[in-house]
Amino acid sequence: MTDNERKVLGALNFSADGCCFCGFAWLMEETGLDRKAVRRACRSLKRKGLAQFARGLWNEDGEPCGSGYAATEQGAALAAGNRE
């Protein structure tokens, strides 16, 4: 796993009910990476089964907010192991 993938995975949230997806803008702010690096890391994590993608997301105010990524259960466990 690359350093960028570790940073992005550490920033992604896991939620069984699917309410914690993150967009590229937020991930860029959290990780300090540029958009290209975040996009590349997210797609790689998805291919590895550590992240999931969703489109047609809604914010807490009931407004559409685009698409985003969240950690899978496996990704969240790996990220938690890296924090300990």
Segment 70-83, tens digit of pLDDT: 999 899 888 888 65
Domain ranges of the chain: 3-83
**Separation between Cα atoms, residue 1 and residue 16, nearest integer Å:** 24
pLDDT band at 84 (very low <50, low <70, confident <90, very high): very low
The proportion of the chain whose per-residue pLDDT surpasses 70, expressed as a percent, equals 89
Across the chain, what does the average pLDDT equal? 87
- This prediction has a pTM of 0.84
At residue 48, the pLDDT reads 97
Mean pLDDT computed over 4-20: 79
What class has domain 3-83? mainly alpha
Instruction: Identify the DSSP state of 18.
Output: S
